[in-house]
A = this chain, B = another copy of it.
Amino acid sequence: MQIEKLVVIKIGGNIVDDKNALSDFLSTFATLAKSREDTALILVHGGGKIATKIGNQLGIESKYVDGRRITDDATIDLVTMVYGGLANKQIVAQLQANGCNALGLTGADANIMLANKRPVKSDANGNPLDYGWVGDVQQKGVNSEILYTLIQAGITPVLAPLTHDGKGHILNTNADTIAQETAKALSEKFEVHLIYSFEKPGVLLDAEDDSTVIDILQPAYYASLKAEQKIFAGMIPKLDNAFAALNNGVAKVIIGKAEKLPLLLSGESGTSIIL
């Protein structure tokens, strides 16, 4: 059957870190991957705390500025090992064991995602701020042709949060961004849904109350919630990204709990973000 739909699913580091939760998730994911012949899946995974733990053992200090990891020479080697090797291949092997024909990729593999090393900027005090080996995905940086070829060959791509600069360097790139750029680029070829899974059941009206999930979020409602300051601060960049994806061809963005994956796909759980 012709594949017409694609769902890009991002899981956070909290699931990658929890062996049992990850195993349950991958079993469900594989079942979904096999169930609908007209729909393909792509999995994007975050890194998790295992990189910090292994880094500590190796004497690699984790440095952060404004909550963002500074990726120095030792750290890019660390995350290349842990995200591109350990996490990615364990996920691939488990999906294979569940009958899903997964293939793990970084942005360097088959040149699927080209990024620019983030330029050194000035911080609020005028001091240089260098994020190190961090990549911002280039305009038209996603090689959707080879992803399309793999999908048509029955492959389920599993993307690590790593890109490359085309000059021989791996770059550290946020998994939300990898998911969004992949979804946008492939929306030329498929009807694409983008699922961000995280620890909450969706976008909440009251950040303290998990029963206040907003079912459907459209631009006007989002604007009014922002004006009333009802949207949790950390959620704003996620939602801005979601609307950016919708404005670039993605049909629907869903935010919710990874444990509810089948219900997120069917629209029965989480927050559906649409134009």
Q: Which residues of A are interface residues toward B (Cβ below 8 A)? A: 54, 57-59, 77, 80-86, 88-90, 92-94, 96-97, 101-106, 108-111, 146, 149, 153, 155, 162, 164, 166-170
Q: Which residues of B contact A58 (CB under 8 A)?
A: 54, 57-58
The secondary structure that dominates the A interface is helix
Q: Which residues of B contact A90 (CB under 8 A)?
A: 80, 170
Q: Which residues of B contact A96 (CB under 8 A)?
A: 108, 111, 164, 166, 168
| B108 and A162 form a contact (CB under 8 A) | no
Q: Which residues of B contact A162 (CB under 8 A)?
A: 89
Instruction: Give this chain's copy count.
Output: 2
Take A59-B57, A103-B109, A104-B109 as given contacts and tell me if A89 and B97 are in contact as well, using a CB distance cutoff of 8 Å: no
**How far is B93's CA from A183's CA once the two chains are assembled, in angstroms?**
23
| A92 and B80 form a contact (CB under 8 A) | no
| B86 and A81 form a contact (CB under 8 A) | yes
Q: Which residues of B contact A94 (CB under 8 A)?
A: 168
Out of B88, B109, B155, which one reaches A92, CB within 8 Å? B109
Q: Min CB distance, A143 to chain B, in Å?
A: 9
